[in-house]
Amino acid sequence: MGVRPDRKKQLVDAAERLLITEGAAAVTTRRLAAEAGLNQALVHYHFGSMADVLVAVLDRVGDQYAAGVAAAFAGEEPLVARWRRHRDLLIGDARARGWPKIWLELCTLALNQPALRERLAPRLDALRSTFADAVRGEAARRDVPLSEDEVCAVATLWGTAVEGLFVEQLLGYERGHRELLAFLEARLTTVFGDAGD
C-alpha cells in the first residue's frame, strides 16, 4: 500500500500558492480545494474555518522566515557581516519563496481577523528581539555604549525598513532601495566597524 498524502499539508501548500499568485481574496473553500486537488469537505475537516487555514500558512511561513533570520544572525561574525546575510536572505530566498507577498496579504487580512492579528504581534516581537540581541551583543563585544532605547531604535528601524522594502518591491517600485541598504550598512559600519575588522 502506498504512502497516504498529507492532506493538511496539501491544503496549506495550495493556500500559499493562491496567496502568491492571486491574493487573499482567492483563498476560498472552493478555490482552495480545487488548487489542492481535494474535495471541499476536506478543507473543513482539516481546518475548522478559512481563518484557521490562513493561520496555518502564517505559522509555516513565519517559522521559515524566522529560521532564516536566526541563521543570518547566528555566530560571532561582526554585525555588518550578519546584516549582509540578512539582506541577502531578503533579496534572494525570501523573494523567491514568495514570503513578502504572503506576509503582506496576511497582514492586510489581520486588520479584520483577530486570529491572524494575535499571531502576528508575537512574530514581529520575536524578529525585533533577534535584531536587538544582535545589536546589543555587538555593542558589548566592541564596547560601544548604546542605551536600551538606542538598541530598540536600531532594531525597529531595521524591522520597519524590511517591511517597507517588501511592500514596495511587491508593487514593482525599488527606487532608493539600494541606497537605503547601503546607508544602513554604512551606519552600522560607522558604529560597529567593518566586517573585516
pLDDT digits (tens, 9 = 90+) for 1-42: 454 669 999 999 999 999 999 999 999 999 999 999 999 999
Average pLDDT, integer, range 67-89: 88
193 near 80, Cβ under 8 Å? yes
Domains of the chain: 1-48 (1.10.10.60), 54-192 (1.10.357)
How does DSSP classify residue 33? H
Q: Once rounded to an integer, what is the mean pLDDT over residues 100-104?
A: 89
pLDDT number for residue 2:
52
Which burial class, exposed, middle or buried, applies to 143 when counting CB atoms under 10 A from its CB (0-12, 13-18, 19+)? exposed
If you average pLDDT over residues 114-125, what whole number do you get?
Answer: 90
Query: What value does the mean pLDDT of the chain take?
Result: 90
* Stretch 143-152: mean pLDDT: 96
- Asked whether the predicted pLDDT for residue 139 surpasses 90, the reply is yes
Burial of 54: CB neighbours in 10 Å, binned 0-12, 13-18, 19+? buried
Closest CA to 31 of 54, 47, 15, 44: 15
Read off the pLDDT of each residue in 89-113 and give the average, rounded to a whole number. 85
Q: Is the pLDDT of residue 128 over 60?
A: yes
Residue 81 has pLDDT above 70, yes or no: yes
Long-range contacts: 104-110, Cβ < 8 Å, 24+?
104/166, 104/167, 104/170, 105/19, 105/23, 105/24, 106/19, 106/24, 106/54, 106/57, 106/58, 106/61, 108/24, 109/24, 109/54
- Assign 92 to helix, strand or coil: helix
pLDDT at position 50 is 93
Supply the pLDDT for residue 4.
61
Give yes or no for residue 95 having a pLDDT over 80: no
The pLDDT, as a whole number, for residue 149 is 97
The confidence score (pLDDT) of residue 58 equals 94
Report in angstroms the alpha-carbon separations of 8 from 57, 112, 126. Answer: 11, 25, 26
